[in-house]
């Protein structure tokens, strides 16, 4: 089997196809800490693409409550267990290699879904969820738990007792009792499990933007994609007997929406986000297959420079292009097993943000057009304090966002304005 380079693992790994990269890659950052689980994203997606016969159970976008929630139920626990059965105790990171451009989180020394798949004669390890597991998209909504309950409840939940899951003593801002929302769409992975699995070669990754699509004419409903996508994002439709998945709203990415006059526009689920937790863009891929240096690109800056946003389950090996600012209050051990060893750095950066990061984070949902570049105009200092013993200064800088053609589409200040409701509109007077 060929070997490909996975920068999120800091090493090469097995993959059924030779390494090949698109010119640009669809990518996004979700800020977990701001999500209110209003499900507006889910409904925007559902009402745009998923309202026909046979699609009733489909949610290409879903928001689940961790740790118990999941759509389909317990998909992450099951995948993790399947790999651990093949490689017991070996799912570890070597973080001693330091932070390098090609290995920003260290080197993962365990097995990916492809490594484990090779051991059992499959492209990737996986399973097909039962109808029951697909049935309750928002099961365990707002259900809190504690690490003690997780570890003691091993038989019920399947959580591992291995080191990454354990809590090593909790102190604020970690909460022993916790839950958080995880927003999920297809990650348009660099090395998609779905694409690797399909015997019909019906799944392809577009060279112009890295969006992963199922060719509806080629698909014969073999469901290997459903089985071997670890994130369980391809979904089978009984009425057409083919599978479907998130299409990254590609007509909008292509600038086909008349609202933006030909300029790339963010997807429906991003644009609808009430909590302003989502930003999506396209990042340029260099000759070496890595993200080309693009210092003034907001996603490049957040993911590669500040490293405040991390991939979901990088150890599964698909190199997902969805990134998350990890939850600041959940036990670190839990967050680490989900987002890898970059969690501590990411939370530190988010808790005490640099002047530039604070400005750039204002761009989340500042425009429906895709932002390809930002700039910051310095403003006066408005506030200073100490956060966890570190000095923090806030400046009322102005951040600008530019679309693909270089036109300004967003201008927003760090200090958000306060609007005082006029007396005649105050209802309790
Ligand atoms: Fe394929 Fe799943 Fe990755 Fe989407 S998240 S590209 S469906 S492997
Ligand atoms: Fe749906 Fe588009 Fe979001 Fe994909 S990107 S989940 S197709 S709204
Ligand atoms: Fe292939 Fe999945 Fe269709 S495995 S044939 S794309 S159902």
Domain ranges of the chain: 3-351, 356-413
36 CA from centroid of ligand 1 (Å) = 25
Q: Where are the alpha helices (DSSP H) in 288-342?
A: 298-300, 332-339
Ligand 1 pocket test: which of 17, 112, 193, 320 has the largest number of ligand atoms within 8 Å of its C-beta? 193
Rounded CA separation 198/231 (Å) = 16
The pLDDT of residue 389 is: 86
Cβ atoms of residues 59 and 184 within 8 Å: no
**Closest by Cα among 114, 139, 144 to 129:** 139
For residue 249 and ligand 2, the question of a CB distance below 6 A is answered with yes
Q: Which two three-digit tokens encode residue 281?
A: 């863009």
Q: Is 390 exposed, middle or buried, given 0-12, 13-18 or 19+ CB atoms closer than 10 A?
A: exposed
DSSP label at residue 285: B
Q: 14: Cβ–Cβ under 8 A, 6 or more apart, which residues?
A: 1, 2, 3, 4, 112, 114, 115, 118
Name the band, by pLDDT with cuts 50, 70 and 90, for residue 167.
very low
Q: Which atom of ligand 1 is nearest to the CA of 192?
A: 8
**Closest by Cα among 418, 191, 417 to 314:** 191
Ligand 1 pocket test: which of 187, 232, 267 has the largest number of ligand atoms within 8 Å of its C-beta? 187
The residue-averaged pLDDT of 207-218 equals 98
Pick the residue whose CA is nearest to atom 4 on ligand 1. Answer: 186
The pLDDT mean for the chain works out to 92
The residue-averaged pLDDT of 33-56 equals 98
Rounded CA separation 5/288 (Å) = 10
244 CA from centroid of ligand 3 (Å) = 9
Model confidence pLDDT, tens digit, residues 93-139? 998 876 678 999 999 999 999 999 999 999 999 999 999 999 999 99
Instruction: Report the 10 Å Cβ neighbour count for 55.
Output: 18
Which one of the ligands is nearest to 188 CA?
A: 1
Model confidence pLDDT, tens digit, residues 381-419? 999 999 888 899 999 999 999 999 999 999 999 998 888
Cβ atoms of residues 349 and 355 within 8 Å: no
Rounded CA separation 199/144 (Å) = 41
Which residues surround ligand 3 with Cβ inside 6 Å?
197-198, 200, 202-203, 214, 219-225, 242-243
Q: Which two three-digit tokens encode residue 84?
A: 């651990």
Residue 424 has pLDDT above 90, yes or no: no
Q: Which atom of ligand 3 is nearest to the CA of 224?
A: 4
Virtual torsion, Cα 237, 240, 245, 249, nearest 10 deg? -130
The pLDDT of residue 421 is: 86
Instruction: Report the 10 Å Cβ neighbour count for 20.
Output: 10
Rounded CA separation 134/55 (Å) = 12
Q: 325: Cβ–Cβ under 8 A, 6 or more apart, which residues?
A: 29, 30, 31, 32, 33, 302, 308, 309, 310, 346, 350
247 CA from centroid of ligand 3 (Å) = 15
Name the band, by pLDDT with cuts 50, 70 and 90, for residue 80.
very high
For residue 224 and ligand 2, the question of a CB distance below 6 A is answered with no
321 CA from centroid of ligand 1 (Å) = 10
For residue 237 and ligand 2, the question of a CB distance below 6 A is answered with no
For residue 43 and ligand 2, the question of a CB distance below 6 A is answered with no
Q: In what order do the strands lie in the sheet with 24-31?
A: 278-284, 24-31, 322-325, 310-311
Q: Which two three-digit tokens encode residue 133?
A: 């597991």
Name the band, by pLDDT with cuts 50, 70 and 90, for residue 152.
low
The pLDDT of residue 95 is: 87
**Closest by Cα among 109, 102, 111, 61 to 81:** 111
The pLDDT of residue 169 is: 40
Ligand 1 pocket test: which of 318, 322, 323, 324 has the largest number of ligand atoms within 8 Å of its C-beta? 318
Which one of the ligands is nearest to 26 CA?
A: 2
Ligand 1 pocket test: which of 30, 183, 186 has the largest number of ligand atoms within 8 Å of its C-beta? 186
H-run or E-run covering 180: strand 180-184
Backbone angles phi, psi at 95, to 5 degrees: -95, 5
Which one of the ligands is nearest to 217 CA?
A: 3
Rounded CA separation 69/197 (Å) = 26
Model confidence pLDDT, tens digit, residues 249-277? 999 999 999 999 999 999 999 999 999 99
Ligand 2 pocket test: which of 231, 247, 278 has the largest number of ligand atoms within 8 Å of its C-beta? 247
DSSP label at residue 316: G
Residue 309 has pLDDT above 60, yes or no: yes
The pLDDT of residue 366 is: 96
Least confident of 8-22, 140-154, 199-213, 275-289: 140-154
Please tell me whether the peptide bond between 67 and the residue prior to it is cis, using omega within 30 degrees of 0: yes
What burial letters (b/e) apply to 229-254, b meaning 16+ CB within 10 Å?
bbbbbbbbbeeeebbbbbbbbbebbe
**Closest by Cα among 417, 411, 416 to 375:** 411
Q: Which two three-digit tokens encode residue 382?
A: 């408005």
Q: Which two three-digit tokens encode residue 11?
A: 């090493």
Q: Which atom of ligand 3 is nearest to the CA of 220?
A: 5
26 CA from centroid of ligand 2 (Å) = 12
Q: Is 166 exposed, middle or buried, given 0-12, 13-18 or 19+ CB atoms closer than 10 A?
A: middle
Q: Which CATH class is domain 3-351?
A: alpha beta
For residue 211 and ligand 1, the question of a CB distance below 6 A is answered with no
Residue 150 has pLDDT above 80, yes or no: no
The residue-averaged pLDDT of 160-185 equals 64
For residue 193 and ligand 1, the question of a CB distance below 6 A is answered with yes
């Amino acid at each position: 089997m060929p070997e490909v380079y996975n920068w999120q693992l800091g090493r090469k790994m097995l993959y059924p196809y030779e390494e090949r990269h698109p010119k640009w890659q669809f990518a996004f950052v979700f800020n977990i800490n701001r999500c209110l689980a209003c499900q507006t994203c889910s409904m925007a997606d559902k009402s745009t693409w998923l309202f026909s016969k046979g699609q009733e159970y489909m949610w290409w976008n879903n928001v689940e409550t961790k740790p118990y929630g999941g759509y389909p139920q317990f998909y992450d626990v099951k995948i993790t267990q399947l790999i651990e059965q093949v490689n017991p105790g070996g799912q570890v990171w070597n973080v001693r290699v330091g932070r390098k451009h090609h290995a920003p989180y260290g080197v993962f020394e365990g097995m990916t879904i492809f490594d484990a798949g090779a051991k059992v004669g499959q492209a990737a390890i996986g399973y097909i969820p039962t109808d029951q597991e697909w049935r309750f998209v928002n099961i365990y909504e707002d259900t809190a738990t504690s690490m003690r309950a997780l570890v003691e409840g091993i038989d019920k939940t399947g959580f591992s007792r291995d080191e990454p899951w354990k809590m090593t003593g909790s102190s604020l801002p970690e909460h022993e009792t916790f839950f958080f929302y995880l927003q999920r769409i297809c990650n348009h992975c660099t090395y998609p499990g779905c694409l690797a699995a399909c015997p019909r070669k019906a799944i392809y990754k577009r060279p112009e933007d890295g969006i992963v699509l199922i060719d509806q004419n080629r698909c014969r409903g073999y469901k290997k994609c459903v089985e071997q996508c670890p994130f369980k994002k391809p979904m089978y439709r009984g009425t057409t007997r083919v599978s479907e998945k998130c299409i990254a709203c590609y007509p909008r990415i292509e600038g086909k929406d008349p609202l933006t006059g030909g300029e790339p526009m963010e997807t429906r689920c991003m644009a609808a986000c009430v909590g302003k937790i989502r930003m999506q863009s396209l990042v340029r891929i260099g000759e070496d297959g890595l993200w080309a240096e693009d210092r003034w690109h907001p996603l490049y800056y957040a993911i590669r420079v500040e490293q405040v946003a991390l991939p979901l389950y990088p150890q599964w090996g698909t190199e997902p292009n969805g990134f998350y600012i990890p939850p600041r209050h959940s036990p670190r051990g839990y967050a680490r097993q989900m987002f890898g060893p970059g969690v501590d750095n990411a939370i530190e950066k988010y808790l005490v943000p640099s002047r530039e990061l604070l400005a750039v984070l204002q761009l989340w949902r500042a425009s429906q057009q895709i932002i390809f570049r930002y700039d910051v105009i310095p403003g006066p200092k408005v506030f200073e304090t100490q956060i966890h013993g570190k000095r923090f200064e806030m400046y009322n800088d102005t951040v600008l966002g530019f679309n693909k053609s270089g036109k300004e589409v967003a201008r927003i200040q760090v200090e958000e304005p306060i609007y005082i409701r006029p007396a005649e509109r105050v209802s309790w007077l």
